[in-house]
Chain A
Amino acid sequence: MSNPTTYFQPVRTWSGNYLIWMFALVLLVLAGGYCAYHMEHEGHHITGMNNSVVWGLPHVFAISLILAASGALNGATLSSVFGNKLYTPYARLSVVLSVCLLVGGLIVLVLDLGRPDRLAVAMTTYNFRSIFSWNIFLYTGFIAIGVIYLATMLERSLQRFNRPVGALALLWRIVLTSGTGSIFGFLVGRSALDSAILAPLFIALSLVMGSAALALVIPWVSRWQHSSVSLHHAPPTRQSMMKLLLWCVLAVLYFSAVHHVTNLYIAEHRQDEHNVLQGAFAGVFWLGHIAIIATGLVFLQTLRHSGELSSTAWHLLCAVLLIACAMILYTVIIGSQSTPQLLFPDKIITASSFGDAGVPAYRPTSWEWGFGMGGIALSLLLLGLVLRVLPISPTSQS
């Protein structure tokens, strides 16, 4: 199934700056682990989260990693399900990255629980009316399918299952991302979130984030491998990824526009929508959207003219897309909690000890940043370790 000019091998220990990267990632993971430990030991009061903004920055990191995990599988899907040979050298990397990002996201999600020591309870006691319970199966199932998918690429005797397993993985990740969006989409008490369109919005965000993450990881791995594959395949693959990203960016903008414009039309959602568009987090909202629109325009112009971007510009734009999507998620997750819940539509709240009248405050602390960055580092560390052991990295035939 692989391109004849390409073969795969594990990363050599001393190649590139592999060990330096691994050491730096270990340090970041340890720092993140300490932040998580400190938060569990002292309690969540050391974070910016409170009883009004109950899900904070760690959730933005966790959901971003989970969405990127789902989208990072694009490379493998395009290769094995849709037969696009440009992505074949990166199909293995795409699957491994996807699983590693998911593991990192889940670790952040679990460690942010008030009682992470009760993970066994969460894994054994289910309430099937809760989308959260369903997501536990969707996430663990995704990891299992990812491992099998990888096996169909690594093991010659299993290669005939590559396409059907790839199709199953595609279907699974669509359901998984819809499930993640649905966590937020059916909260009747929060009008900023109470919308089924969050599920397709999350799918579009996942496609952008995952593709951008894959595009950023490819040169990183190539440097470790001293591989020229990324250079040989760069222009056509980059053009193809640019087209893909452009369509996904348009999808994000479309679903986001529908979500916010309909909220402006629905009388009971209008006040919350004004808070999103003009309130405390409006800067994050607009900056995220402007960044994603600007990147889309650059892609459009590039594709209309030369079709080529310098490596630096390409990677910079991919990084901008990742951050912009995380900012949009930030406004969905935190911005939506930063509007007062409407308890009495016909009244003005003049006094309350629980902040019912005003806009709840939230400022993430360094513990949350450290914890979230630790999750990203853990995903990359796992990726580096898997690349060291398995023949994942594409390289030119000598």
Chain B
Amino acid sequence: MQSSSTNNKNSKAQQARRRFLQKLGLLGAAADSYTLLELQAKTTASAASGDKRWGLLIDTSKCASGCDACVRGCNTEHGIDASDSDLTRAQWIRKIDLKDKLTGKESSLPVMCQHCDSAPCVDVCPTGASFKRADGVVLVNKHTCIGCRYCMMACPYKARSFIHENLTEQKPSAPRGKGTVESCTLCVHRIDSEQDMQPACAVACTDEAHSAIVFGDLNDPDSNISRQLQSAGGSQIRSDLQLNTGVRYHGL
């Protein structure tokens, strides 16, 4: 009798131990998955490499006056509300129509952050919130931007926007915040996530059958952008400032 009761007790203890180990196993598996997810995220984040230099080549002969597909594509991708005042709303990319003073030739082109190699915004930012990744993409760290707007004063391209109003309906891939400064990110969330992904403006331009915006690796001589730059050339806006911009224009 005593032996049977001892056996029962042992059996219950074994069952309890088994359940405990099972739970421990589940917990371990969950922790492993979390670690893997975290590792995956870190791998993605650390993907910026000095071997690459992302850039854009804009062919102004293909860019149509009156077309703002790239602007709309950018706004949709990043949840930017274009209904506010032109003076205060965020404009990561804008269309400008030009007329040559001498020849009268008209052209149209998008202007966004030029992702300078020697970026004045990075130099002047007091907290280092404006920074340049190893692959040449100039970004704003939304956690350390204090909203002093010194980078906006320093940017020769007027490419940065200060968020003047409360924001709603933000996109998880493009976190933004009132009181901070932002600008074109070259859609890092897209180009970091998968190979051959293009920024939203380039995709929108291609969808409109203009294909005026070419995105790619300026360091890769075999990339489409490098080949086009080699064959047709590409100039910089305010090349006199010697900022070595990542955005180049053909036909300017």
Contacts and interface: CB of A to CB of B under 8 A. Distances in A.
Contact of A352 (B94, B145, B179): B94
Contacts of B154: 187-189
A330 to B, nearest CB: 16
A287 B84 CA distance: 36
A50 B71 CA distance: 20
A50 B87 contact: yes
Interface residues of B, number: 60
Contacts of A54: 149, 152-153, 162
B238 A130 contact: no
B174 interface: no
A132 B162 contact: no
Nearest to B181: A114
Interface in B56-92: 65, 71, 84-91
Most buried by A among B65, B71, B98, B125: B98
A346 interface: yes
Interface of A: 40, 42-45, 49-52, 54-55, 113-116, 118-119, 121-122, 125-127, 129-133, 136, 183, 187-190, 337, 341-344, 346-356, 360-361
B197 interface: no
B86 A353 contact: yes
B165 A45 contact: yes
Contact of A121 (B102, B127, B149, B238): B127
A114 B178 contact: yes
A113 B153 contact: no
A52 B155 CA distance: 11
A343 B158 contact: yes
Nearest to A118: B146
B122 to A, nearest CB: 8
Interface of B: 65, 71, 84-91, 94-102, 106-107, 111, 120, 122-128, 144-150, 152-158, 160-166, 177-181, 237-238, 241, 252
A127 B99 contact: no
Given A55-B153, A344-B98, A354-B86, A130 B124 contact: yes
13 contacts: A43-B165, A50-B88, A115-B146, A126-B126, A188-B154, A188-B156, A189-B157, A189-B158, A343-B111, A343-B156, A344-B252, A347-B98, A356-B96
Contacts of B147: 113-115, 118
A348 B106 CA distance: 9
Contacts of A55: 149, 153
B128 A353 contact: no
A343 B150 contact: no
Contacts of A188: 120, 154, 156, 241
A351 B108 CA distance: 9
A354 B85 CA distance: 10
A231 to B, nearest CB: 46
A139 to B, nearest CB: 12
Given A42-B165, A51-B89, A51-B160, 14 more contacts: A40-B179, A45-B84, A45-B88, A51-B164, A127-B125, A127-B127, A344-B252, A347-B99, A347-B101, A352-B95, A353-B71, A354-B158, A356-B94, A356-B96
A132 B94 contact: no
B98 A121 contact: no
Nearest to B86: A353
B179 A129 contact: no
A127 B88 contact: no
Contacts of A360: 87
Contacts of A127: 125-128
B91 A354 contact: yes
A163 to B, nearest CB: 34
B157 A51 contact: no
Given A115-B145, A118-B146, A355-B86, A343 B100 contact: no
3 pairs of A and B residues whose beta carbons are closest in the complex: A114-B147, A114-B179, A189-B156
A346 B127 contact: no
Nearest to B157: A343
B64 to A, nearest CB: 13
B153 A187 contact: yes
A126 B128 CA distance: 7
Contacts of B99: 347-348, 350
Given A347-B100, A349-B97, A132 B126 contact: yes
Contacts of B163: 43, 114
A189 B155 CA distance: 6
B179 A121 contact: no
B90 to A, nearest CB: 8
Contacts of A355: 86-87
A218 B158 CA distance: 46
B118 to A, nearest CB: 10
B126 A122 contact: yes
A353 B148 contact: no
Contact of B158 (A132, A341, A347, A361): A341
A136 B95 CA distance: 38
B96 A132 contact: no
Nearest to B100: A347
A349 B95 CA distance: 11
Given A43-B179, A353-B91, A130 B241 contact: no
Contacts of A347: 98-101, 107
